[in-house]
Amino acid sequence: MMANMNLTETYQARVASGTLQADDAQLAALPLFDQVLEDMSQTSGKKKFLGLFGADEVPVRGLYLWGGVGRGQSMLMDLFFEIAPEPRKRRVHFHAFMREVHAAMHEARKRKVDDAIAPVAEDIARDVRLLCFDEMQISDITDATIVGRLFQKLFAAGVVVVATSNRVPDDLYKDGLNRDLFLPFIALIKDRLAVHELASDTDYRQDRLAGAQVYFYPADATARAAIKEIWQELSGGQVSPLMLIVKSREVVLPSFSNGVARSTFFDLCGVPLGAADYLAIADAVRVLIVEDIPRLSRSNFNEAKRFVTLIDALYEARVRLICSAADAPERLYVEGEGVFEFERTASRLREMQSADWAQN
């Protein structure tokens, strides 16, 4: 921890230096992070025999911080992770973590183990004591059937979890298939993590984009440079692929950070994706950058249909869209089957450019 400062002191120092802007809701959440640091400093973090804690050491309660998009949950967790003195710590996007878990369980099954979750949890607990998740959410039934037993074992082994989410725990996997089987995990979250809403009135991510151009045409060097600048500001420098599992298939967004994804038109619409895939993407990201949208016609009719479906999914989920295209929305699709249907998409592309659109 830098100069032994807790998160409250670090936050205040950065406000004083002008690096951060003070926010009352964020200030109210800081003592919860500090409690996690204090509790961790007073426990050994050693794995307990059979997952049981002795009378002299109670398990450290983690934190589940949720709130609207752009309120600063990820920023606070990143700052917390930065100053946490625990050497065995890891910060990872929840979707990426679950992808790793699936892969590790697949390898465990090759060894004919009775319970594939047990060795995976043991490996994680051996390497990590503090596990920070960005944007915890469950949208896949396979994940929903795993997380309960996995996290029970992680908690029993002394792993401390700090997570951010855009959803209150009760809304995780909402309306999901066989959700009754998932409810014990929600109860576990509430028991082992302090749940706190970051109820800020300010959407800082939208503030960065307020009044800014978000639709660039033509898709030339100027557009690429402008989008690169926006991406660098929104991503914060920590970038990795985002892998989603949709009906047992992988959907990959090549660049992802803090709820912001960047991809090309071909990556999203030049491959055989469908409505379920685009809905999963819209559920997983809050800002999507799509580059190099071409002119659309009968020559790329299938790609055009996928693009229409993608825009519908983003529109309904209120995902902020930033893109570069060959022309203005009304001139993207001017000939061939589907021109009439595209008028609605063009209208939505125009509407999604407004500064306050995603807040409506």
Amino acid identity, position 129: R
pTM value is 0.68
| Per-residue pLDDT, 46 | 56
For domain 2-197, the CATH architecture is 3-Layer(aba) Sandwich (3.40)
Cβ partners under 8 Å of residue 293, min gap 6 = 219, 265, 307, 323, 324, 325, 326, 332
Cβ partners under 8 Å of residue 189, min gap 6 = 64, 151, 169, 172, 195
**Fold (CATH) for 211-359:** Rossmann fold (3.40.50)
Give CA–CA dist 169/190, Å, rounded: 8
CB 73 within 8 A of CB 205: no
- Strand partners of residue 324: 216
Question: For residue 256, which of 82, 95, 100 has the smallest C-alpha distance?
Answer: 95
Distances (CA, A) of 236 to 62, 138, 302, 346, 357: 25, 24, 35, 31, 23
Say how many C-beta atoms besides its own lie within 10 A of residue 213's C-beta.
12
Tell me whether domains 2-197 and 211-359 share a fold.
Answer: yes
Amino acid identity, position 330: E
Opening angle at CA 157, ends 104 and 177, nearest 5: 55
Joined together, the tokens standing for residue 56 give 């002299």
- Strand partners of residue 93: 134
Give CA–CA dist 164/64, Å, rounded: 6
Q: What is the mean pLDDT of each run of 10 residues along the chain (360 residues)?
A: 77 91 92 95 62 57 87 87 94 84 91 92 95 85 89 94 92 84 93 91 58 88 93 79 80 86 95 90 90 93 93 90 94 83 90 72
Residue ranges of domains in the chain: 2-197, 211-359
